Amino acid sequence: MAVRLNLILSEDLHAQIEQCAATPDDKALLIRKALALYLEATRAAREKDLGLALFDRHSREIRTEIVGF
């Protein structure tokens, strides 16, 4: 069963979504995927006491740690 939600986004966030998605369907898919990724990452981090970071693929060096999720 699907649920419809209405969201109020900042202009900056809306502009970022516009840059990544060509059609309204693409926007909806982008938001669904981003939300699913965020929820899975936070669940895994909490259950396993892990952090979230962006790292260099070659050196495996952490470049950015993401906090507050």
Q: What is the pLDDT of residues 15-67, one digit of tens each?
A: 999 999 989 899 999 999 999 999 998 898 889 988 888 999 999 999 999 88
Say if residue 69's pLDDT is above 70: no
Q: Could you give the number of structural domains in the chain?
A: 1
- pLDDT recorded at residue 8: 96
Alpha-carbon span 37 to 41, nearest angstrom:
6
Terminal-to-terminal C-alpha distance of the chain: 27
Q: Is residue 2 part of a domain?
A: no
Please report whether residue 6 resides in a domain: no
pTM for the predicted model, two decimal places: 0.73
Task: Quote the pLDDT of residue 20.
Answer: 93
- H helices of 2-63, in order, are 11-20, 24-48
In a domain, 60, yes or no: yes
Residue 54 pairs with which residues in a beta bridge? 64
In a domain, 20, yes or no: yes
Residue 3 domain-assigned?
no
